[in-house]
Amino acid sequence: MRLFLHLTFFLLLSYALVAQDSKLNPEDFKISGDTRMTGQNCYQMTNPVNWSSGSIWHKKPIDLRAPFELELNVMLGCKDADGADGIVFTFHPKMQQTGYAGEGMGFAGLRPSLGIEIDTWENEHLLDPSYDHIAILKNGSINHAYNLAGPNRLPNLEDCQTHQLKVKWDPADQKMAVYIDGRGYIWFRKDIINKIFQGNPSVYWGVTAATGGYNNKHAICFEKLDYREAKPLESLDYRLAQKLREGEAITLPSLQFDSGQSKVRPSSMAELDQLVQHMKKNPGMILDIFGFTDSSGSRQANQSISLQRAQAVAKYLEDRGIPRKQLNPQGYGEAFPVAPNTTAAGRRLNRRIEFRLTRPIP
C-alpha cells in the first residue's frame, strides 16, 4: 500500500513537471494569415468576411508517445443559417502555414497530418452533412469518404457562445477522444505515429480556420495545455560532427534509398534531424548535398536519380527549418566512385549522399 502511494505520488509529480503553465507565452506561437492575438491566450482566427483564413501553431513540438490533454474555448460566430466554414485542430510535422481556405478550413493540403474538424458549412461534394459536425481527418483531405472517424452531429455551434473543446490522447490505448462542453462527440483508435506520421513521434499542433463564400467570426482561447514536449533531438555522432567542422565530407549510415526511388525513408529521418540540429548551430554555413550512384544503369538515368535524391534530402532539411539558400543539392551520377563497382559491397558504398559544410562564397 505504502509503495502504491509513493508510486502514485511520483506519477502525479512527474505529470505536473511536464504540464504547461496556464499563462501562455505569445512568443511560443506562430500565427499566419488573418489570425491575430486579441487578449491573454486568445486569438481571432478569421475576420467575419468572405475568404478569410489563418492559423496558429505552437512552436514546440508535442511528443505523441506521451498522453496529452489540450483544452480551448472556441467561438464560431453568430450566423447559423449562412455561417461558414469552420476550424480544424491540427497535428503536422512542420510548423506549417495555413492550408486552403473556404471548405478547406485552412487544413486542406497539409500532409501528413491529423485534423479534428468542426465544420459548420455543408459542402455536398465532400459528403458534409447539413448540420454542424465534427470529424477526424487525415493528410489534408477534407472529404468524408477518407475520414478516420465521423462526421458526427453537433448541436448548432454558431450561437455567439464560447464552447469548450477538449482533445485527449492516450498513447497506451492509441485512442484519441474529443469533447465539446464536457460531452464526448467523437473518438478513434489508431497508431498515428506509424500510420500517419511515418514513425515520427514529434509533431507540431495548431488550429486552422477559414471562411469562404460565406463567413463567420472564428475565435479561440487556449485554456489548458498538458502535454510533454518532444525532447530535443540527439545531436549528430561526434565523429561526424568533427569531420563536418573540419570541412570533410560525411555520409549518414541510415540514409539509403529504395532502388530507383528518391523518397526519403522514415528510417533516415532521425539522422537527418540530427543534421538539422547541427546546421542550426552553424548558421550561415552552406551544406553541400551531393548525390552519387553506382555504375549500373545508364549514365543519364544515374545522373538524374542522384540529383533527385540530393534534392529530396534538401527539401526534407528545408521543411525542418534550414533556409533553402544554405542548401546546395547536386547530382553527380556514377562519377567519383569511392569503391570498385565490380562487387555488391562496392556498389553499395558508391550509392551515397555526401554532405560537406562550406563557407558561403562572398
Report the interface residues with Ca ion, using CB under 5 A. 80, 103, 119-121, 123, 128, 132, 156, 158
Looking at the Cβ atoms of 128 and 334, the one nearer to Ca ion is 128
Q: Is 23 left (phi over 0), alpha (psi -120 to 50) or beta?
A: beta
Looking at the Cβ atoms of 63 and 132, the one nearer to Ca ion is 132
Q: 3-class SS at 159? A: coil
Distance in Å, CB of 83 to Ca ion, minimum: 6
Residue 327 sits at the vertex; the CA angle it makes with 324 and 332, to the nearest 5 degrees, is 135
d(CA 312, CA 145): 31
Dihedral, 360, 305, 254, 58 alpha carbons, nearest 10: 60
Distance in Å, CB of 208 to Ca ion, minimum: 13
Distance in Å, CB of 350 to Ca ion, minimum: 52
Decide the pairing of beta strands 327-331 and 286-292: parallel
Looking at the Cβ atoms of 63 and 119, the one nearer to Ca ion is 119
Distance in Å, CB of 158 to Ca ion, minimum: 4
Decide the pairing of beta strands 149-153 and 133-138: antiparallel
Looking at the Cβ atoms of 20 and 120, the one nearer to Ca ion is 120
Nearest alpha-carbon partner for 206 in 300, 316, 88, 357: 88
Distance in Å, CB of 74 to Ca ion, minimum: 13
Looking at the Cβ atoms of 134 and 240, the one nearer to Ca ion is 134
d(CA 238, CA 309): 25
